């Protein structure tokens, strides 16, 4: 399948990532349906999109007619069948838990045509863990966007032993068509490229905090000013979501059984209190 043959895209999952991925696709000229089972999530996604397009026009970043056309191409729905029927590409943006991914892909596969590509926005879990949930595993791969998806250019396109060359090529070109900069991860590996590096840094940052070696602020200052990072690792965890980090690490622990893969006390404490970062106004930092 060539990029110019793609007529409809579906995004399954309308949270922060799924919603922004869908908007980026619509902004790039493709018809896209963004799905969530929860009506409250659909309403929140629609409200965010309306506000984003309004601000984009007001700030002169987008012409009024271009914003209106993009919104016409973007549909939010809690009807899975309507969202994925006739979709050429389905972007899966649900929780990074293998069984959840397997279940939703199996459900989707009942409605899609034979040529549909399933692109999982998993942050860590390789697609071979759930590709056999569909009839055509060669059309399942990881396509990892970064938060915020409307701004971050990078996309990791991850091949695997089950993925066809045609699937990889189509998604690589599609990523360019939606104004992203794709890199090819040639082999499946947990966490891909960016998150393996990120996890190593955040794990050490949390260890230093747990051991009382330095404060939150000083750990972040050290990384920003000593390593030249634009944002400290603990500040970045607040942005991406401490709940996401907790779920990812717990899922890894369930897969490996290695206690060293469990979340650090610093993560567990904040997760237990519901302090997930910027979205809850409190995490490692206070955003009230």
Please report how the helices 216-227 and 194-210 are oriented relative to each other, as an axis angle in degrees rounded to 10. Answer: 140
Instruction: Tell me, yes or no, if 217 is annotated catalytic.
Output: no
From the candidates 19, 27, 120, 144, give the one annotated as an active-site residue.
Answer: 144
Is the dihedral angle over the CA atoms 253, 258, 261, 267 positive or is it negative?
positive
User: 10 Å Cβ neighbour count for 181?
Assistant: 10
Instruction: Tell me, yes or no, if 5 is annotated catalytic.
Output: no
**Strand order from edge to edge, sheet including 181-185:** 74-77, 31-35, 8-12, 89-92, 117-120, 140-145, 154-158, 181-185
Instruction: Tell me, yes or no, if 195 is annotated catalytic.
Output: yes
Name the CA dihedral angle for 143, 148, 149, 155, rounded to a multiple of 10 degrees: -40
From the candidates 19, 92, 122, 156, give the one annotated as an active-site residue.
Answer: 156
Q: Judge contact between 137 and 147, C-beta under 8 A.
A: no
From the candidates 120, 121, 127, 195, give the one annotated as an active-site residue.
Answer: 195
In order of 93, 204, 206, the CA distances from 233 in angstroms are 24, 9, 9
From the candidates 19, 120, 122, 123, give the one annotated as an active-site residue.
Answer: 123
Q: Judge contact between 145 and 152, C-beta under 8 A.
A: yes
Instruction: Tell me, yes or no, if 215 is annotated catalytic.
Output: no
Distance, C-alpha 264 to centroid of its chain? 23
Catalytic residue set = 123, 144, 156, 195
């Amino acid at each position: 399948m060539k990029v110019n043959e793609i007529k409809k895209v579906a995004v399954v999952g309308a949270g922060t990532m799924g919603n922004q991925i869908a908007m980026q696709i619509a902004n790039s000229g493709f018809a896209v349906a963004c799905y969530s089972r929860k009506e409250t999530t659909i309403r929140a996604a629609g409200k965010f999109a309306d506000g984003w397009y309004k601000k984009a026009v007001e700030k002169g970043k987008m012409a009024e007619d271009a914003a209106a056309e993009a919104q016409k191409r973007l549909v939010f729905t809690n009807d899975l069948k309507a969202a994925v029927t006739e979709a050429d590409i389905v972007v899966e943006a649900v929780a990074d838990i293998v069984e959840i991914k397997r279940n939703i892909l199996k459900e989707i596969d009942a409605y899609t045509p034979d040529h549909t590509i399933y692109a999982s926005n998993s942050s860590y879990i390789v697609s071979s863990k759930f590709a056999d949930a569909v009839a055509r595993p060669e059309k399942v791969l990881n396509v990892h966007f970064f938060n915020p998806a409307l701004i971050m250019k990078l996309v990791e396109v991850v091949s695997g032993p089950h993925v066809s060359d045609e699937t990889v090529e189509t998604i690589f070109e599609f990523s360019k068509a939606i104004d992203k900069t794709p890199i090819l991860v040639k082999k499946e590996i947990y966490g891909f490229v960016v998150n393996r590096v990120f996890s190593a840094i955040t794990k050490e940052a949390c260890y230093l905090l747990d051991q009382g070696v330095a404060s939150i602020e000083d750990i972040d200052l050290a990384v920003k000013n000593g390593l030249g990072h634009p944002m400290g690792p603990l500040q970045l965890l607040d942005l991406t979501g401490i709940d996401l980090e907790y779920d990812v690490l717990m899922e890894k622990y369930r897969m490996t059984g290695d206690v060293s893969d469990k979340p650090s006390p610093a993560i567990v404490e904040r997760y237990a209190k519901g302090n997930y970062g910027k979205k809850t106004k409190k995490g490692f930092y206070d955003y009230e």
